[in-house]
């Protein structure tokens, strides 16, 4: 379960493009931050994805990926050209196929090979046609789905939604959100050539006049229980209300948003209807990482939590420059998972009510974020000195580490999870196995 959103330059305060995403996964699954440089390959080389091999490109671009620790692909990420893509699970009437490309695999391939949103849209639909989509995406339990994508560059954005081999794509006009449901209806800009004919043959509509992609291809039951419609409405409403003055702070507000009535109780019950998703139910999904990109005006800037639960986490600034110490190389994935787990220990301490004063931590976190935002805002337009950017990143990481160490050191050794019995049992089991890496 996830939520992804974009605001184009005609909807933001400064004319930049803003892209944001929460990754909602199984709670013990590290979402790691990996940076991979440009690479060249010999003719005929193969690329091993999560389950299958595909043809490798002659050259791949530099990418920053936010990926489940055991999967080759990524939930979200960007490349050196400012192309950003986010992936969503969607549930459809089409059959779930055998192991093929995961949506996350397709996302990473597109980031590695494309310069802009149009190229990425073309490649994603080509990959879908050539290799198909399928395979388990679950860390500790089996979980299969089809995929949708929000594809953004420095000036344009596309929504691509799939159902098996079929797909529809819509060009974004100003603001747009996607979630764990099909959102494209009767109007779209591109589609699979047999999209409507197949729906008619299946008896889902009578013809083009009454065709609606989401209604015809979506699985209404699973979609309903996913909470996707509530999350989609929450993010879309804020984007519409703030249109013309959207900033990175607006995106933080959305990524931290809970369903009405849950604020203050989010650590005592699950919620699939919150953009900041809290696990603890049979589905169990929880927000394991959050990401914001600001592109298209001056140097591309990013805000990354590097950990779960954005209503607790600190958004730290990031620039894709040489010498930064935030991301990890592909050879350091175990260290990247350790970075994520250290921040996850704070979330578990909160769940177990071991912090003497949660509000004091949140107030200090907010002051730190305000200080970070002020330092970023003080940078002049254009290309600030690399040394200054490295200094800000290093300071933010060190300040977070100091706050994290102080908070965990002051936590009680014993605590009690609050909430209904299943919620308490669920999180007790999850915490007991947090340090034991595994995949399903």
Give 43-51 contacts, CB < 8 A, sequence gap 24+.
47/109, 48/72, 49/73, 49/101, 49/102, 49/105, 49/109, 50/101, 50/102, 50/104, 50/105, 50/135, 51/99, 51/100, 51/101, 51/102, 51/135
Angle (CA) 399 311 76, round 5°: 85
Q: Where are the beta strands (DSSP E) in 221-369?
A: 286-295, 301-304, 316-318
Cα separation, 11 vs 201, whole angstroms: 41
Instruction: Tell me the β-bridge partners of 133.
Output: 101
**Which residue numbers are catalytic?**
2
Cα separation, 71 vs 431, whole angstroms: 22
Count of CB atoms within 10 A of residue 215's CB? 15
Cα separation, 436 vs 341, whole angstroms: 11
Task: Please say whether the beta carbons of 304 and 291 come within 8 A.
Answer: yes
DSSP code of 246?
B
| Residue with token string 């009405």 | 260
Cα dihedral sign, 11-16-17-21: negative
How does 283-305 read in b/e, with b if 16+ C-beta sit within 10 Å? bbbbbbbbbbbbbbbebbbbbbb
Cα separation, 86 vs 154, whole angstroms: 15
Going by their DSSP bridges, the two strands 31-36 and 63-68 should be labelled as: antiparallel
Cα separation, 96 vs 89, whole angstroms: 12
Helix (H, G, I), strand (E, B) or coil at 281: coil
Residue 138: exposure state from Cβ atoms within 10 A (0-12, 13-18, ≥19): middle
Task: Please say whether the beta carbons of 136 and 439 come within 8 A.
Answer: no
Helix (H, G, I), strand (E, B) or coil at 59: strand
| Residue with token string 């805000």 | 303
């Amino acid at each position: 379960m996830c939520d992804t959103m974009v605001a184009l330059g005609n909807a933001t305060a400064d004319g930049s493009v803003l892209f944001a995403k929460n990754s909602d996964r199984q709670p013990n699954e590290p979402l790691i931050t990996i940076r991979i440089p440009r690479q060249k390959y010999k003719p005929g080389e193969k690329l091993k994805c999560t389950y299958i091999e595909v043809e490798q490109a002659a050259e791949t671009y530099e990418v920053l990926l936010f990926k489940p620790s055991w999967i080759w692909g990524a939930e979200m990420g960007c490349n050196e050209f400012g192309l950003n893509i986010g992936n969503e699970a969607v549930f459809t009437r089409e059959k779930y196929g055998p192991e093929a490309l995961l949506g996350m695999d397709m996302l990473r391939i597109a980031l590695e090979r494309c310069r802009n949103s149009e190229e990425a849209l073309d490649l994603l639909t080509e990959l879908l046609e050539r290799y198909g989509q399928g395979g388990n995406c679950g860390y500790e339990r089996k979980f299969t789905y089809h995929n949708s994508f929000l594809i953004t560059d420095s000036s344009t954005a596309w929504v691509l939604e799939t159902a098996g081999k079929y797909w529809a794509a819509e060009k974004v006009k100003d603001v747009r959100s996607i979630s764990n449901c099909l959102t494209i209806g009767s109007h779209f800009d591109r589609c699979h050539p047999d999209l409507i004919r197949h729906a008619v043959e299946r008896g889902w509509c009578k013809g083009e006049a009454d065709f609606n992609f989401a209604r015809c291809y979506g699985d209404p039951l699973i979609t309903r229980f996913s909470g996707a419609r509530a999350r989609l409405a929450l993010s879309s409403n804020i984007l519409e209300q703030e249109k013309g003055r959207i900033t990175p702070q607006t995106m933080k507000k959305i990524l931290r948003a809970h369903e009405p009535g849950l604020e203050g109780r989010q650590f005592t019950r699950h919620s699939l209807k919150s953009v900041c998703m809290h696990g603890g139910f049979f589905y169990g999904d929880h927000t394991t990482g959050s990401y914001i990109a600001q592109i298209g005006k001056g140097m591309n800037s990013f805000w990354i939590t590097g950990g779960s639960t954005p209503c607790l986490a600190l958004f730290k600034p990031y620039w894709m420059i040489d010498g930064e110490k935030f991301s990890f190389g592909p050879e350091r994935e175990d260290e990247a998972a350790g970075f994520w787990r250290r921040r996850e220990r704070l979330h578990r301490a909160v769940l177990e009510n071991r912090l003497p004063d949660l509000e004091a931590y949140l107030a200090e976190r907010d002051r730190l974020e305000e200080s970070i935002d002020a330092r970023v805002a003080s940078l002049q337009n254009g290309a600030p000195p690399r040394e200054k950017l490295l200094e800000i990143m290093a300071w933010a990481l060190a300040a977070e580490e100091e706050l994290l160490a102080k908070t965990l050191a002051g936590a009680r050794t014993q605590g009690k999870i609050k909430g209904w019995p299943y919620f308490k049992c669920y999180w007790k089991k999850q915490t007991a196995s947090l340090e034991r890496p595994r995949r399903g």
